[in-house]
Amino acid sequence: MNKTAILIGATGLVGSEVLDLLLKDEHYDTVKIFHRKSTGKHHSKLDEYVIDFNKIDEWKHLITGNELYSALGTTIKKAGSEQQQYTVDYTYQYEEAKAAAENGVKKYSLVSSAGANHRSRVFYSRLKGELDDDVKDLPFEVITIMRPSILAGERNEKRLGESVGLFLMSFLTKLPGLQKYRPISGKTVAQGMIHSLQKCPPGYHIFEFDEIFHL
């Protein structure tokens, strides 16, 4: 049976890879993406919805299918404030996941972050941990959470801090005991998300660091 996949965050480092893989995968005959402006992509399997994330009541009825992939995210610099980053990274993703579950979507995969913890003193780690915890209570049959190390790959926008971190980690992870923290490509995370929903049994599953390589 061919499936319908839903994707939020289709232009990010991981999300763009998820989109490419889903469009090439013969198991999917429809891929729905929700974005604030057109991606410019055209494909016979692609259904693109240009929406206002702040007005989900106007389009949540369209969030139907078999699987939801959530890879939306921003930086505090781009968002402008912690509050705005929270809105993008937590609120938008949680509200879409909630709507998908209510519409009968059975499987859900989310890109989180290494160190995600709702008790963290670090704002970014705390908000990621809150989202990880809260989606657990949604009535999906399968939930998979990816907590990758630093991401490698070409982004639409340059992130200086991430570039420096990637450079340093490439050397540090060659030391004994640190290999599991090695950088991971956006494509590998995307493959892990898709494979996890194909192979994981019902329940809530978290994959951290190098565990994603083995999916």
The CATH fold of domain 3-154+184-209: Rossmann fold (3.40.50)
Mean pLDDT, the chain, rounded, equals: 89
Q: What's the pTM value of the predicted model, to 2 decimals?
A: 0.88
pLDDT range class, residue 28, cuts 50, 70, 90: very high
Q: Has residue 162 got a pLDDT over 60?
A: no
Q: Has residue 152 got a pLDDT over 80?
A: no
pLDDT at res. 207: 96
Q: Which run of H or E residues covers position 82?
A: helix 82-86
Angle, CA 21 vertex, CA 17 and CA 23 arms, to 5° = 115
pLDDT range class, residue 156, cuts 50, 70, 90: low
Beta strand 67-70 with 3-8 is parallel
Q: Has residue 169 got a pLDDT over 60?
A: no
Q: What is the mean pLDDT of residues 160-187?
A: 58
Q: Has residue 92 got a pLDDT over 60?
A: yes
Assess contact for 155 and 184: CB atoms under 8 A.
no
Q: How far apart are CA 186 and CA 207, in angstroms?
A: 15
Q: What is the mean pLDDT of residues 63-78?
A: 95
Q: What is the mean pLDDT of residues 144-160?
A: 71
pLDDT tens-digit series, residues 135-149: 999 999 999 999 998
Poorest-confidence range of 36-40, 144-148, 199-203? 36-40
pLDDT at res. 91: 97
Percentages of the chain per state (helix, strand, coil), in multiples of 5:
45, 20, 35
Q: What residues does each domain of the chain span?
A: 3-154+184-209
Tell me phi and psi for residue 33, to 5 degrees.
Answer: -125, 145
Query: Above pLDDT 70, what percent of the chain?
Result: 85
pLDDT range class, residue 215, cuts 50, 70, 90: confident
